[in-house]
Amino acid sequence: MSVASSAAGAGLPSAKGAPSVLVVEDDPSLATQLVRGLSRGGYRVDHVMTGQEALASGDPDVVLLDLGLPDVDGVDVCRRLRERSDAGIIIVTARGEEPERVLALDAGADDYLIKPFGLAELLARIRAVLRRIRPGGEVLRHGPLTVDLRTRKVTVHAREVALTPKEFDILECLASDPGRVMTRQEILESAWDAHWYGPTKVLDVHVAALRRKLDVPGLIETAYGRGFRLGEV
């Protein structure tokens, strides 16, 4: 059974051109969470529940591979995927499966996650794998937002938004780790200078302009007294 769970299926605008992730997971509730989280993260997502289906699937950019599958041994799936594909392979294992994890890394997996893991960590690992696969072409994604670090092009719901260099740098900083509060100091150091000693009011002015241009309520949240972060939208 192949459940084609696209971003559109999750009620979000379809992430055309977004990297694709194949989730190979036989636990339905975990799979549902992963599909939802990855769709929200801006990825195109497909889900299969068996090793056979994973091997019969197309050519995703990243495979999230559960090692404990009902049919084919996960390590075997990993090896056979690697023989025919350059996809980033991130294996997902339970705590007790260390020998299998080592075998899977030897069989060509790029990285691994141990259950239970958080969505933020998963998204960070996927970004890291994509950076290795597509060097220099990294695009940060968060909900309707894309930030292309190479071309410095920003889109919201596929609409291009013209930003000043400072606005772009601030957004890049926030989008590098969506959900985490970036302190005012961190943002200033990343967008201005390694050692910013000037007034920080300037940051609020730029953030206000950014919010106006992006025009997505709740996208840039204020963490009072601390800084800013990208919120769930």
Which one of the spans 6-14, 24-32, 109-117, 194-202 is the region binding Ca ion (CB under 5 A)?
24-32
Q: Is the bond preceding 116 in cis, omega lying within 30 degrees of 0?
A: yes
Which one of the spans 21-29, 103-111, 113-121, 170-178 is the region binding Ca ion (CB under 5 A)?
21-29
Measured CA to CA in angstroms, residue 177 lies from 84, 156, 190 at distances of 32, 17, 13
Read off the amino acid at residue 97.
E
Gap between the Cα atoms of 120 and 123, Å rounded? 5
Gap between the Cα atoms of 210 and 200, Å rounded? 16
At residue 128's C-alpha, the angle toward residues 181 and 14, to 5°, is 80
> CB of 69: closest distance to Ca ion in angstroms?
6
The residue sitting closest to Ca ion, measured at its beta carbon, is 68
Going 28 to 144 to 113 to 221, the CA torsion angle's sign is negative
According to CB under 5 A, which one of 10, 30, 33, 68 is a site residue for Ca ion? 68
Q: Is 26 in the site for Ca ion (CB under 5 A)?
A: yes
Type and span of the H or E element at 179: none
Gap between the Cα atoms of 64 and 59, Å rounded? 13
> CB of 24: closest distance to Ca ion in angstroms?
9
> CB of 172: closest distance to Ca ion in angstroms?
37
Which one of the spans 6-14, 22-30, 119-127, 203-211 is the region binding Ca ion (CB under 5 A)?
22-30
> CB of 26: closest distance to Ca ion in angstroms?
5
> CB of 132: closest distance to Ca ion in angstroms?
26
Read off the amino acid at residue 151.
T
Nearer to Ca ion, 113 or 181 (CB): 113
Which one of the spans 66-74, 138-146, 155-163, 181-189 is the region binding Ca ion (CB under 5 A)?
66-74
Going 42 to 58 to 114 to 35, the CA torsion angle's sign is positive
According to CB under 5 A, which one of 46, 53, 61, 66 is a site residue for Ca ion? 66
Nearer to Ca ion, 66 or 167 (CB): 66
> CB of 94: closest distance to Ca ion in angstroms?
8
Type and span of the H or E element at 168: helix 165-175
Binding site for Ca ion (CB under 5 A): 26, 66, 68
